[in-house]
Amino acid sequence: MMRDETVKLRLDPAGEATERPISIAIVAMGGQGGGVLTGWIVKLAEAAGWVAQSTSVPGVAQRTGATIYYVEMMQPSGGRLPILAQMPTPGDVDVVLASEFIEAGRSILRGIVTPDRTTLIASSHRSLAIAEKSAPGEGIADDSAVTEAIGITARRSIIFDMNALATAHGSVISSAMFGALAAADVLPFPVDAYHAVIKGEGKGGSASIKAFDAAFARTEGKTDEADADPAPAEQATPLRRPIPPRIAGLLDCLQTVMPPQVQPMARAGLAKVIDFQDVAYGSLYLTKLEEILRLDVELAGESKDFALTFNAAKYLANAMAYDDVIRVADLKTRSTRLQRIGKEIGLGPGQLFETTEYMHPRMEELVGLAPARLGRWLRRQDRLYAWLDRRISKGRRVRTYSPGWFLVLYTMAGLRRFRRASLRHAEEAAHRDAWLTLATKLAPHNYALGVEVVKCQRLIKGYSDTHARGLSKFDRAMSEIRRLAHRDDAADWARRLRETAVRDGEGGDFDGLIQTIRSVA
pLDDT digits (tens, 9 = 90+) for 312-337: 999 999 999 998 889 988 999 888 88
Averaged pLDDT, 180-192: 92
- Confidence tier at 204 by pLDDT (50, 70, 90): low
Query: Boundaries of CATH 3.40.920.10 in the chain?
Result: 22-234
- Give the integer Cα–Cα distance in Å for 284 and 171: 44
pLDDT digits (tens, 9 = 90+) for 61-119: 444 457 889 999 998 877 777 888 888 888 889 999 998 888 888 888 888 898 888 99
At 18, the amino acid letter reads T
Phi-psi region of 300 (alpha: psi -120 to 50; beta: other; left: phi over 0): left
Q: What is the pTM of this model?
A: 0.66
Q: Which of 73-82, 228-237, 355-364, 398-407 has the lowest mean pLDDT?
A: 228-237
Give how far Cα 518 sits from Cα of 439, 445, 481, 482, 492, Å. 21, 22, 11, 12, 15
Instruction: Answer with the residue of higher pLDDT: 161 or 343.
Output: 161
Q: Do 75 and 108 contact (CB within 8 A), yes or no?
A: no
Residue 452: its pLDDT value, please? 96
User: Would the pLDDT of 270 be above 80?
Assistant: yes
User: Would the pLDDT of 263 be above 50?
Assistant: yes
Averaged pLDDT, 345-372: 82
Contacts of 414-418 with CB under 8 Å at 24 or more apart are: 415/326, 415/369, 416/277, 416/278, 416/326, 416/330
Which numeric CATH code is attached to 22-234?
3.40.920.10
Averaged pLDDT, 463-489: 88
Task: Kindly compute the dihedral angle of the four CA atoms of residues 198, 199, 203, 204, in this order, to the nearest 10 degrees.
Answer: 60
Residue 264: its pLDDT value, please? 93
The alpha carbon dihedral of 9, 10, 13, 14 has a sign of: negative
pLDDT digits (tens, 9 = 90+) for 390-429: 777 677 788 888 888 889 889 989 999 999 999 999 999 9
